[in-house]
Amino acid sequence: MRISLLSVLCVILLPSCFILDDSPKFQVAETGLHYCMHEERGDVKPQVGDEIYYSMTVRRGNEALDSKHKKELMPLSPKKNPVLQAFKIMGLGDSMTIALFVDSLPKRMTNKFESGDTMFVDLKILDIRQKKDIDNELVNMRDKADRVRSHVRDHISEFIDGNLSYTETESGLRYIIEKIGNGKSAKNVKRVSLHYAGFLTNGKEFESTFRRGKAKAFYFDKRTQAVPGFTEGLKLLTAGSKATLIIPHNLAYGKNGRGPIPPESDIVIYVELLEVY
């Protein structure tokens, strides 16, 4: 027989706000979300299109299973996402715990729980970036994408004319360090954050995170499918570095090509390494 959510909440280890009979109880929002507010400052509330930077800890009782910092864009409607439902109630600096019946969640989110368990999620809004600031940044990033494209095309012309100064590795990767970063090396790490733009040797741009206005997380494992030359080039850099990589086709997409990249195409990638983790 399925035990009700509130019954489960009463018998397992709970946050301090729900242990004693005379303590504040979990409230139920209009969406059906069960929540317990810990800190309510009444500051700026997130609006549609704002970016919310927050901390999140997932617990089974008092046992913390996962803790991370994340960013989310506030949608017009949170639909079934309980975290976004919580943000409809919270403001900048607020913290709360939400309680979720795991049988109502997708299995990929509940592999550390058993059927009938309750998942507790501790949330705190650390920062809110307004939509107008995000829009202005996107305009600036698109301007930068155009500058990057012009810069890379100049390099391509110099390379074709034989006037480009570069370093070549044993594999055949050619690279130019535009700026040496003073941060951590990416040589033996698992993850980095970066901006990049990719071009064919005729100057045609086929991809750009600058143009999308959003940096990319790169994992040095199967989670990120990257061409060998790009992975090799990243490992030569430190956080804060800027570089142009000229990748021969055998280190790129090979004899078959891929998508907009024709067979046996050399490619050029400009990269800015933001963070090394």
Mean pLDDT, consecutive 10-residue stretches, the chain (277 aa), reads 35 36 69 92 88 95 93 83 93 95 82 90 96 95 98 98 98 98 96 98 97 95 93 98 98 96 98 97
Nearest to 136 by CA among 70, 53, 49: 49
> Which residue in this structure is represented by tokens 């090979």?
254
pLDDT recorded at residue 168: 98
pLDDT recorded at residue 19: 33
pLDDT recorded at residue 43: 77
pLDDT recorded at residue 31: 87
- What distance in Å separates the CA atoms of residue 245 and residue 237, rounded to the nearest whole number? 11
Structural domains of the chain in order of their starting residue, each with its CATH number = 5-129 (3.10.50.40), 144-276 (3.10.50.40)
Q: What are phi and psi of 198, to 5 degrees?
A: -110, 140
- What distance in Å separates the CA atoms of residue 204 and residue 200, rounded to the nearest whole number? 5
pLDDT recorded at residue 14: 38
**Which residues, 6+ apart, have CB-to-CB distance to 184 below 8 Å?**
238, 239, 276
pLDDT recorded at residue 15: 40
- The answer to whether the Cα torsion of 236, 238, 243, 247 is positive or negative is positive
125, burial (CB in 10 Å: exposed 0-12, middle 13-18, buried 19+): buried
pLDDT recorded at residue 5: 36
Q: Which amino acid is residue 9, in one-letter code? A: L
pLDDT recorded at residue 232: 98
Strand 51-60 to 167-168 pairing? unpaired
- Entry pTM: 0.71
**Which residues, 6+ apart, have CB-to-CB distance to 24 below 8 Å?**
17, 18, 36, 37
